A and B are shown apart, each in its own frame.
Chain A
Amino acid sequence: NAGVTQTPKFRVLKTGQSMTLLCAQDMNHEYMYWYRQDPGMGLRLIHYSVGEGTTAKGEVPDGYNVSRLKKQNFLLGLESAAPSQTSVYFCASSYSNLRQGVTEAFFGQGTRLTVV
């Protein structure tokens, strides 16, 4: 199993350019998340999805859009990149069981994005 795969791993954008980050999971998980990691800030939730066709805003959603057209994929879009969006982006997925509810998250390897 590949687990959670993120594409691309590195990217440099110019201010105002757009791009899409792709996250794919092969574990049949219902829940998927996008986080950003900045030095000294930990990870912060951008958007999440509780199932195919659903998305919701997290803590820091401004400047980002997401889509979950297929259960295994969760796309993060930047319509007009800004230097403040320079960060490492992590996708994660999770599943639910009857006893615990939603369990631990499984993370991808990250995408390092620099906006100049």
Chain B
Amino acid sequence: EAGVTQSPTHLIKTRGQQATLRCSPISGHTSVYWYQQALGLGLQFLLWYDEGEERNRGNFPPRFSGRQFPNYSSELNVNALELEDSALYLCASNTGTAYGYTFGSGTRLTVV
């Protein structure tokens, strides 16, 4: 069984640009979650998508947005990039329970 796949692995952007990160969940998983893992701050919840709808959102500005497609894959968009957006962005999926999240290996975003 293929795990959660994320692309790209690494992304380097200039301050003010936009970044798009992609996630494919495990087959059969309908919920997708996005987390930011910044140095010294730990994992911070960004977004939860289920059945194509945004279900919950963490304490991040509106320039962090995303969507979930009919095949349950998901996209995270970060607009007007700032230096402090540099972090590992992790995607997770599950079948809709409150536990048992499977994570991908992440996208390392560097803003210069």
User: Are A and B physically bound partners?
Assistant: no
A-side interface residues toward B, CB under 8 Å? none
